[in-house]
Amino acid sequence: MEVVQEPRRKKRPMPTWQKIVFGGIAVLLFLLILVLIFVNVYINQTVPKVSGEEVVRVLQSDVRVTYDRYGVPHIEASKDADLFRAQGYVQAKERLFQMSMARRQASGTLSEVVGEQAVEQDKYFRTLGLRRAAERSYASYSPEMKEVLQYYSEGVNAFIEEAIASKRLPVEFALVGFSPSEWDPIDSLTIGKYMAFDLGGHWERQAFNYHLLQQYGEEKAYELFPSYPKQAPTIVKDINIGQSFSSAIIPEEFNGSNNWVVSGEKTASGKPLLADDPHLGLATPSIWYEMHLQSPNYNVNGVVFAGVPGIILGHNDEIAWGVTNVGPDVQQLYLEKRHPDEAYTFMYEGEWEKAKVIQEPINVKGEDTIPYTVVETRHGPILSEFAGQSDGEHALALRWTALDATTELEAFLDVNKAKNWNEFEDALAKFHAPAQNFVFTSKDGTIAYKANGKIPIYPDGKDALLPLEGWNAENEWVGYIPYDELPTVINPEQGFIATANNKVVGPDYPYHISHVFAQPYRYARIHEFLEENNHLTVNDMKELQMDVKNLQAEEFVPLFVSKVRNGEVSETMGEALSILEKWDYKDEATQSAPLIFHTWMDHVEEELYKDLSSDVRGLFTGKGQTTDELLRQSFSGEDPQWVQEAGGLEELLTKSLKSSIEELYASFGSELTAMSWGEFHRVEFYHPLSSISYLEPFFNSNSPVPSDGSAVTVMAASHNEEGIVNHGASWRFVFDGSTYEKSEQMVGPGQSGHVKSVWYDNQRKDWVEGGYHTTYLSGYKGQVLTLTAP
């Protein structure tokens, strides 16, 4: 049979436009691949070297750096000077971009690299003057400490020069578009001042109280004061507080820190145990960097802020220590009376005084330099100048201890070398700001506590509740609490000492400390645990740091449920109340009760304070403490006006529960029993550049993780409006006094600031689940990098 082959069909030619489009796509894909390969190669070559050798031009002798499996550098130097040079070099390798941005933020120079969106923030920090305060402080440091700061700066600069020359700067510099400038000692001190700012004081609450008295009657205003004034304060001419501080940068209201120390009488080993977990903002990289420093005069391990020499918190081979924030009234707003014709002249004791006028021109990337003037009275910078002060007769100036010359970094270097309580306490005499609760233990079994720092003594009847008239000398601070009279406890009979930003003195203490303290739940839970248990171990300390018992809920849920059940209850409200009644009061991510309770408390506050203008709500620090007290008063039969105006206690609770349930259904769309705290309450350590949408997958490749805890549990985990946990234990530390050779630590999310490092976020899971790593003072193993002298 003959096979007839059909003629082959000719292919239809591709239209020209398709050739252009597909050709263009191919070229773009090829270019994209090349770019990705280039970027990947560039990023990989900037990963910090952790083994082998590196020549560091500033060293006088070789330094050995051993990186353990968690990325903790153990730096061994034969000279103290080389120890601090190496510390600066090693920190810069891992955290240079963080260090560079931190000094810019604190100095008010962000606009130079990020543009006009940072101008208002720069104006605020120029006005506050953290860098000017750092310059004043430098003059107060000893020659020996100035040398340490210089050695550290030399190490940082050695890395900067090397990285620029070899094109190995971290990729963030290329993305933002700038190169780091030379580091100097003032940069380190300015970062220290910024931490004092972050732990701050209570000027914003003074401004809020002042607003209350202007907008409401005295009785109603006093209900929101942290404590009732003994006598009605003087009201000066109205100043628009909200407008005055609309552009001020107010630190996030702290949910606090925890620390405790237990004597050997209550431990299984017969030796003390110490634990510390300071609560700060959670981000990538961590605010802390863990290091071990060893030289002829140092053998100390713990954590330090990137950009600062020495160790801030941790232990050496003789002592261990930890801190929480005291939160004293170290900031005071003063109303200054202006001269009617001279803008920078103010009244004091019947005479006119010229203020200090400082020119602070602000360089802005891609824009003209902005001329900017800062004015400082005898009390401090006028904070309201930049915000469009509405009152031509008065201004508001800030008096703050941290703007004075202080020597906290020298104090920590002395602490690093201390061998006993006496040496430790002597070292703390140099520590002025921010005021901290120190707990301590030493090899001889001593346990101790000291509330340390410069805490002002106020004139009689004037104790930091409101701005004071700056033109009267009678309103000046009358010194500071004498060092030997600061709250101190040594080897107490109860066998332990704990602090959690709680009130640290009783009514018999002769000096005022503060009006604003953290809600008492964390401290009460820690005290309860330590008092009830003996034969305590390191594991018990870890368990307590991760404790999620909610004592606020334990106090209020029965009262809330009982009050609401007095009225009409819908089916869904009844279901919510039943869930809460069965709750064990643990803020666990898998439970629905914490989600219902915390949402309910949020709505209670919304109802209570709905009449407060939005521009002053940010000044209402310590709001939770005030809310709890208003509720307690209502349940005890008192009748606060804020609760009355919300319809009374039963209507307040019923209405807020109903709106809470509506919000939960709108957000999660399932049955209440199927919802969980962890669906809303999740932790992620955001990198600052992840705010740029296309960079988020690069710097934050993992999804937020459900998290236990809350702002009122020992495992502190405060969240923002989206439920993202952004404030909590930035470092966890447990120390066993039976051996001074090691400690248990966690730095979330990890040690490295480099996205390609194995230590970038390897402790993220540990933060959520309570994992720790052991860091040793001797016998450690790991990758060895030798820093060689030229």
Going by C-alpha positions, the residue among 417, 428, 423, 418 that lies closest to residue 83 is 417
- For residue 105, the model assigns a pLDDT of 96
CA 555 – CA 636 distance, rounded (Å): 13
Task: Please indicate, yes or no, if residue 302 is contained in any of the structural domains.
Answer: yes
Q: Does 303 fall in a domain? A: yes
> Which residue among 274, 302, 318 closes a domain?
318
Beta strands 742-747 and 731-736, pairing class = antiparallel
Please check whether residue 36 lies inside any domain of the structure: no
Does pLDDT of 37 surpass 80?
Answer: no
Instruction: Indicate the pairing of strand 52-55 with strand 783-788.
Output: parallel
DSSP reduced 3-state for 337 = strand
Look-up of token digits 């101790």: 448
* Nearest by Cα to 333 from 388, 399, 387, 234: 399
Are 59 and 82 spatial neighbours (Cβ–Cβ below 8 Å)? yes
CA distance 542 to 733: 9
Among 649, 675, 701, where does a domain finish? 675
Q: How many domains does the chain have?
A: 2
DSSP 381: B
- Count of CB atoms within 10 A of residue 2's CB? 3
Question: CA triplet 571, 573, 574: central angle to 5 degrees?
Answer: 65
pLDDT of 29 > 60? The answer is no
Q: Alpha-carbon distance 271 to 536, whole Å?
A: 10
- Beta strands (DSSP E) in 57-134 are 63-67, 73-77
Q: Which amino acid is at 307?
A: G
Instruction: Report the percent of the chain where pLDDT is more than 90.
Output: 80
* Lowest mean per-residue pLDDT among 343-347, 422-426, 479-483, 504-508: 504-508
Q: Which of the pair, 46 or 163, is modelled with greater confidence?
A: 163
Can you give the pLDDT at residue 40?
59
Model pLDDT, residue 744:
98
Q: State the helix-helix crossing angle for 649-668 and 571-581, rounded to 10 degrees.
A: 100
Instruction: Specify the DSSP element, H or E, that contains 320.
Output: strand 319-325
Q: How confident is the model at residue 18 (pLDDT cuts 50, 70, 90)?
A: very low
- pLDDT, average across residues 248-255: 59
Domain contains 348: no
What pLDDT, on the 0 to 100 scale, is given for residue 41? Answer: 61
Residue 27 three-state SS: helix
DSSP state of 361: -
Q: Is residue 70 part of a domain?
A: yes
Of 263-277, 652-666, 695-709, 735-749, minimum mean pLDDT range: 695-709
Cβ pair 170, 46 in contact under 8 A: yes
Mean pLDDT of 691-719: 88
Q: Percentages helix, strand, coil for the chain, rounded to the nearest 5?
A: 40, 20, 40
- pLDDT tens digits, 419-464: 999 999 999 999 999 999 999 999 999 999 999 999 999 998 788 8
How far apart are the C-alpha atoms of 435 and 447, rounded to whole Å?
A: 20
Give CA 590 to chain center in angstroms: 27
Percent of the chain with pLDDT over 70: 90
Asked if 269 is an active-site residue, the reply is no
Catalytic position from the list 107, 137, 244, 257? 257
- 204: DSSP letter: H
CA 384-385-386 angle, to 5 degrees, is 95
pLDDT tens figures, 507-563: 899 999 998 889 999 999 999 999 999 999 999 999 999 999 999 999 999 999 999
pLDDT in tens, 375-391: 999 999 998 764 444 46
Contact 509, 487 (CB under 8 A): yes
Q: Name beta bridge partners: 357.
A: 375
Q: Which residues are annotated as a binding site for Ca(2+)?
A: 329
Mean pLDDT of all residues in 585-612: 97
Gap between the Cα atoms of 512 and 486, Å rounded? 11
Q: Among all chains, which residue has been given the structure tokens 């120029």? A: 126
Task: Evaluate whether residue 144 is within a structural domain.
Answer: yes
Q: Is 361 part of any domain? A: no
Phi–psi pair at 665, nearest 5 degrees: -65, -40
pLDDT in tens, 67-94: 999 999 999 999 999 999 999 999 999 9
Residues near 181 by beta carbon (within 8 Å), at least 6 away in sequence:
100
Binding region: 329
Residue 239 is predicted with a pLDDT of 46
516: in domain: no
pLDDT of residue 242: 46
DSSP state of 183: P
What is the total residue count of the chain? 790
Alpha-carbon gap, residue 630 to 625, rounded angstroms: 9
Q: Which domain-ending residue is among 675, 693, 711?
A: 675
Q: What is the pLDDT of residues 296-324, one digit of tens each?
A: 999 999 999 999 999 999 999 999 999 99
Q: How far is residue 542 CA from its own chain's centroid? A: 22
Confidence of residue 369 (pLDDT cuts 50, 70, 90): very high
* Containing structural domain, residue 628: 557-585+592-675
Q: So what's the pLDDT on residue 387?
A: 42
Average pLDDT on 274-287 reads 96
Q: Residue 169 is part of a domain; what is its CATH number?
A: 1.10.439.10
Q: What is the mean pLDDT of the chain?
A: 91
Query: DSSP string spanning 658-691?
Result: HHHHHHHHHHH-S-GGG--HHHH-EE----GGGG
For position 619, what pLDDT does the model report? 83
Provide the pLDDT confidence category of residue 19 given band limits of 50, 70 and 90: very low
Over the stretch 224-238, which tens digit does the pLDDT of each residue have? Answer: 998 655 544 443 444
pLDDT of residue 253 exceeding 70: no
pTM for this predicted structure: 0.92
pLDDT at position 254 is 53
pLDDT value of position 232:
41
Amino acid letter, 94: E
